[in-house]
Structure 1
């Protein structure tokens, strides 16, 4: 068994695609019609055959409450590995990304948390 796709719920798939590719640096892998939405995935450019991140519409009635609860409690929906959290924080801040937690070192791990503009908090981490 292996993970091939995971998701993040997004308010607007086109805006999410722009943010996740232009700002975060992922690459679009799949973009197929799926009813009124799209099966839209991105991948890491260093692992095009790795885990795909599905930019899934937030249409289900429970999703809004779920996302609001996580954001309200400051809980990231997902965590992405980076080589250097401080460098990524600097790069992303220059692009206008709003961080809700600056780089914070906790033992061997450094993390930071940002708003993905699609209703989620996302954590970046490096060891």
Structure 2
């Protein structure tokens, strides 16, 4: 079993494509018309054949209450790994991205949460390097 695709619900697929490619830096993989919507996916430029993120239309009636509850509680819908949360925070903030949680050290990782402008909160995370001389022990 492997993860090839996951999705985020978006209010406007073309606006989401612009945000996820022009601001976040993903690359468009598929844009296939399906009636009024698209099969629209993006990938990391570091892994163009890797897992795809489907920018899924949010018009199903269950989506709005689900996303509203997540946003109200400050819960991210998705998590993306970055090399340096502080650097990514600075880069995205300079582009006008609104963060609901600044870079925060939560022990083994640094996290931050931003609004993707498409109805979701997204968390970025970077593992902290292990201190020199300390190896993690099996649990």
Taking structure 2 as the reference length, the TM-score comes to 0.91
* SS state at 2:96 partner: coil
The count of residues paired between Structure 1 and Structure 2 equals 127
Segments of 5+ residues of structure 1 without an aligned counterpart are none
Alpha-carbon separation, structure 2, partners of 1:20 and 1:36:
20
Shift of 1:2: 1.0
- Rg bigger for which structure? 2
For residues 59-78 of structure 1, the aligned pairs below 5 Å read 59-78=59-78
CA RMSD of aligned residues (A): 0.4
State yes or no: 1:2 paired with 2:2.
yes
* SS state at 1:14 partner: helix
- For residue 51 of structure 2, what is the aligned residue in structure 1? 51
Taking structure 1 as the reference length, the TM-score comes to 0.99
Moved over 2 A (4+): none
Shift of 1:62: 0.6
Segments of 5+ residues of structure 2 without an aligned counterpart are 128-139
Alpha-carbon separation, structure 1, partners of 2:85 and 2:67:
24
